Amino acid sequence: MDPICQCQKFHGQQVDKLQFILRTTIEFTMRSTPIPLHTAIEHATHIALPCTKLFVVTGRSRGLAAENHRQEPQELMQEHGNVGAEVRKTIGDVATTFVVAGVGSGIVVLRAAGPRNMD
C-alpha cells in the first residue's frame, strides 16, 4: 500500500486521496512565544506525519528582521549539532535551526529584495 493510502484514515474517517491532500497541504498557524524558533521546531516535529512531506518556508532578511534571533539558534545548535558558518550565512539563522534539528523534508528560503528603481 502506498504511503498516501496509509494516511487515508484521517481522524478515523475514510477520505479519498484528493480530499486528504487538500486538507493537509498547507497549514498556517500563529503562536505567541518568547522562544519562537524552539516553538516552530517543536510544532513542525509534531505535525509531520510519516506518510507526508513537510516543507518549511522561511524568510531570509537580517535588515528587515523585527527581532534578533542570534542567541536562540546558538542554543538549538548546542542541542542538535552544529553546521558551518557558510550554511548560516547562506540560508540564514531561522532555516539553519530547522536544518540542524532535522525537521522537514525540505526548506524553502525566501529573501525580500530591496526597493528598486522601476524606470
pTM of structure: 0.67
Range of the domain at 63: 32-110
Examine the pLDDT at 115 and tell me if it is beyond 80.
no
The full length of the chain comes to 119
Residue 48 falls inside a structural domain:
yes
Mark out the alpha helices in the chain (DSSP H runs).
3-6, 17-24, 36-47, 71-80, 85-101
Q: What is the mean pLDDT of the chain?
A: 75
Mean pLDDT of 54-77: 76
Same domain for 105 and 93: yes
Side-chain-facing half-sphere of 77: CA atoms under 13 Å: 17
Same domain for 22 and 39: no
Q: Which residue has the higher pLDDT, 50 or 80?
A: 80
* Cβ 4 vs Cβ 48: under 8 Å: no
- Mapped onto helix, strand or coil, the DSSP state of residue 101 is helix
